Amino acid sequence: MILEAHAVAPFFKNGFVVGCERTREGVIIDPGDEVDVLIAAVGRQSLSVKYILLTHAHVDHITGVGPAKSAFGAPVYLHRDDLPFYERAVQQGQMFGLSVQQPPPVDVFYDLSPMKFGDYEVRIHHTPGHCPGGVCLEIRDEDTHLFVGDTLFAGSIGRTDLPGGNYDILMRSITQVLFPLGDEAIVHPGHGPDTTIGRERKANPFVLEYLEQP
Ligand SMILES: [Zn+2]
Ligand SMILES: [Zn+2]
């Protein structure tokens, strides 16, 4: 499987290109400010992008949707519960003092059924808590790859102090939706380095604190 991650200032939010080496079909995940790098990667890998997939609609994860849509013409997917955030992209940008263009409309809401590209499929897991419409995108080759957005990070967890955030719901998503996907599963967070479910289950201080609660 072809897999590239790229991030640029100011958010250093990871955007991903995932592709099938046989059919050259691929997907883009969370195009943000690094979208030009993602578009170049797609060209270099000779991929045809079938879907633009969003883990959630915080502004750092969607600023590249417009250019990605123009470049590839592929449909944009989001969980329905994050539509209110998506529709307020401009206002989200203003919160960070950034001028952001409103991205093109969402084409499809995830219905949680698997989506095929080439020899692979994307399985959708609803993981609210960081925001109401957060999802984990699962793609398997010989490994299980989890694109978790801002739900879980290496050694940390997503913030829950933003509108629509909820700590208990987030911890339930992490421990009851992500953890059952297996200790070996590779976690690709929205920010920072990769990790694994096993490492976070055993050593993530926020997870340990939650699990130790009476
Ligand atoms: Zn976020
Ligand atoms: Zn983020």
| Cα–Cα nearest to 1, from 16, 17, 15, 21 | 21
CA of 23 to the centre of ligand 1 (A): 32
Total residue length of the chain: 214
Q: What is the pLDDT of residue 51?
A: 98
Q: How many CB atoms lie within 10 A of CB 74?
A: 18
Separation between Cα atoms, residue 179 and residue 41, nearest integer Å: 31
Residues 155-184: tens digit of each pLDDT: 999 999 999 999 999 999 999 999 999 999
Which residues, 6+ apart, have CB-to-CB distance to 62 below 8 Å? 30, 31, 32, 54, 86, 89, 103
Closest CA to 63 of 110, 9, 115, 108: 9
Q: DSSP assignment, residue 13?
A: B
> What is the pLDDT, as a whole number, of residue 214?
82
Q: How far is the CA of 56 from the centre of ligand 2 (A)?
A: 9
pLDDT of residue 177: 98
98 C-alpha vs ligand 2 centroid, how far in Å?
15
| Ligand lying closest to the C-alpha of residue 11 | 2
pLDDT for 192 equals 98
pLDDT tens-place values along the chain, 214 residues long: 999 999 999 999 999 999 999 999 999 999 999 999 999 999 999 999 999 999 999 999 999 999 999 999 999 999 999 999 999 999 999 998 999 999 999 999 999 899 999 999 999 999 999 999 999 999 999 999 999 999 999 999 999 999 999 999 999 999 999 999 999 999 999 999 999 999 999 999 999 999 998 8
- CA–CA–CA angle 101, 26, 64 (5° rounding): 10
Q: How far is the CA of 62 from the centre of ligand 1 (A)?
A: 10
Mean model confidence pLDDT for the chain: 97
* Chain centre to alpha carbon of residue 54: 6
- Return the ligand number nearest the Cα of 82: 1
List residues, by chain if needed, whose CB lies under 5 Å from ion ligand 2: 13, 60, 150, 190
Of the ligands numbered here, which is closest to the C-alpha atom of 128? 1
Counting residues of the chain whose pLDDT is more than 70, the rounded percentage is 100
The CA distance from 91 to 48, in Å, is: 32
Nearest bound ligand to the CA of residue 63: 2
Give the residue from 89, 80, 72 showing the smallest Cα distance to 29: 72
Show the 3-state SS of 118-158.
CCEEEEEEECCCCCCCCEEEEEECCCEEEEEECCEECCEEC
Q: What is the DSSP string of 181-192?
A: G-TTPEEEESBS
Residues 115-139: pLDDT tens digits? Answer: 999 999 999 999 999 999 999 999 9
Q: Which ligand is nearest to the CA of 130?
A: 1
Ligand 2 midpoint to CA 213 (Å): 27
Calculate ∠ Cα 40-11-190, nearest 5°.
75
Q: How far is the CA of 66 from the centre of ligand 1 (A)?
A: 18
**Ligand whose nearest atom lies closest to the CA of 56:** 1
pTM: 0.97
